[in-house]
Amino acid sequence: MLREAAAGAVELVVGNARHIKNVPGRKTDVKDSEWIADLLRHGLIARSFVPPQPIRVLRDLVRYRRKLVESGSTERNRLLELLETCDIKLASFASNVFGVSGMAMLRALVTNAATPTEMAQLARGRLRDKIPALALALDGQLDDEHRFLLQMQLDRLDQVGRCHPIRCFVYGRVRFVGQQLHVPVRACTGSRGQCSGCGERGPTYDTARQARFFEFVPPWGFAVFLVYPMRRIACPTCRVRTEQVPWADGKNRCCNVYRVCLARWARRLPWSEVGQIFGTTWGVVHRAVRWVVDYGLAHRDVPGHHQAAGWPRPPYPRPAFTW
C-alpha cells in the first residue's frame, strides 16, 4: 500500500487515531472504516506529515541503531550486577569498568587463568596507582556458571559495539542538503589525534576552519558525506602534521568502507556500470579497486591467509575496516 502511494497511484492520508475516534458502542472493522471514510469525505481528517522514502529508510536505520546502543547499556548494567553478585568490586575502583584496563580484567576473569594480583597488574594509566586495592576488589566468588554468563555478556557487548565503530569521534545531527546527506563528525573533547606521518598519537595543534567532506557509501541514490574539520597534530618527530582519520586513508576523500564497497561491486559488474549505479566516475571505481588490491597484496602474509584456503591469487581483503 505504502509503495503504491509512493508511486503516486493512491493518495495516502495518515491521520491521528485520537482525532478520528468513533463513538463508543458496537464496533467492527467495517463500521470503523465507514466512519473514517465519511470523515475523510468531509475533509475532517488532519493530514499528518509523511516523510519521503529516503527519510523513512534512514529513520528506520537510525531507530534500529538507537535500540542497539540502548541494548548495549542494558547489557553493561547486567554485567555490573553480575559482578556485584560475585562480590567483585571492580566498579568501586575503576571509573570505567568497560575501559581498556577493565575489559582486560573482565576477560581474565572469564579465562580464570590469573590470580587477583596478576589481574590487577593489567591496569593501565592512572589506575595503576590502585593496584593493591584492585587485587582485593578482584578477589571474589566467581563460579563456572558466572564465568559462562560473563563470557556471553562480553560477546554480546562486542556485537553491539560494532554499530559504533569510530572510536574517539562522535556524530552530530544529520542534515539533508539538497540531494546530499551530511553527517557532521567531531573529535571527542580532549582526544589526541593520530599523526599522518608516523601514526603516533599527539596533542592537537589547531583545527581547520573549513570542514573536509568524506564520501560515504551512498544508499538509495543520494550522496552521504562525513563532514569533519581536520585537526593538525604537533608530533614530536614529524612536527606539525594534518591528522590521520580512521575512516579514510591519507588525503583520500572516499571513506575506506565506500572504496571496499565499490571494489566488491567491481568484481561483478563492469567498472563504468558500477560508477553509474553509485553516481560516481570510472576513475573513482578504478582507484578504489587499486587501493583494495594493494591492501590485499600488502597483507597477504598475515596469518591465516589465502594460501591456507588454497586460493591461487590474493583475494580482496576481508579485514575489520574502521569507517
Report the interface residues with Zn ion, using CB under 5 A. Answer: 195, 197-198, 235, 237-238
In the bound state with Zn ion, the residue whose beta carbon lies nearer, of 227 and 238, is 238
Residue with cell 523513512: 56
Cβ contacts of residue 61 below 8 Å, gap of 6+?
A: none
- What long-range pairs does 263-267 form, CB within 8 A, spacing at least 24? 263/288, 263/289, 263/291, 263/292, 263/293, 263/316, 264/316, 267/316
In the bound state with Zn ion, the residue whose beta carbon lies nearer, of 132 and 203, is 203
Q: Is-contact 256 322, C-beta < 8 A?
A: yes
In the bound state with Zn ion, the residue whose beta carbon lies nearer, of 179 and 237, is 237
In the bound state with Zn ion, the residue whose beta carbon lies nearer, of 118 and 206, is 206
> If we measure between CA atoms, which residue out of 303, 283, 281, 279 comes closest to residue 291?
283
Q: Which amino acid is at 273?
A: E
In whole angstroms, the minimum distance from the beta carbon of 195 to Zn ion comes to 3
In whole angstroms, the minimum distance from the beta carbon of 298 to Zn ion comes to 21
- Torsion sign over Cα 124, 129, 131, 133: negative
In the bound state with Zn ion, the residue whose beta carbon lies nearer, of 157 and 233, is 233
DSSP at 241:
E
In whole angstroms, the minimum distance from the beta carbon of 250 to Zn ion comes to 14
In whole angstroms, the minimum distance from the beta carbon of 247 to Zn ion comes to 19
In whole angstroms, the minimum distance from the beta carbon of 214 to Zn ion comes to 22
In whole angstroms, the minimum distance from the beta carbon of 200 to Zn ion comes to 5
Residue with cell 562480590: 87
In the bound state with Zn ion, the residue whose beta carbon lies nearer, of 241 and 259, is 241
Task: Count the alpha carbons within 13 Å of 2 in the hemisphere toward its beta carbon.
Answer: 7
In the bound state with Zn ion, the residue whose beta carbon lies nearer, of 203 and 270, is 203
Cβ contacts of residue 142 below 8 Å, gap of 6+?
A: 86, 88, 109, 112, 150
Max Cα-Cα span within the chain: 81
**Buried/exposed 190-206: b ≥16 CB within 10 Å, e otherwise:** eebbbbbeeeeebeebe
In whole angstroms, the minimum distance from the beta carbon of 234 to Zn ion comes to 9
**Coil vs helix vs strand at 50:** coil
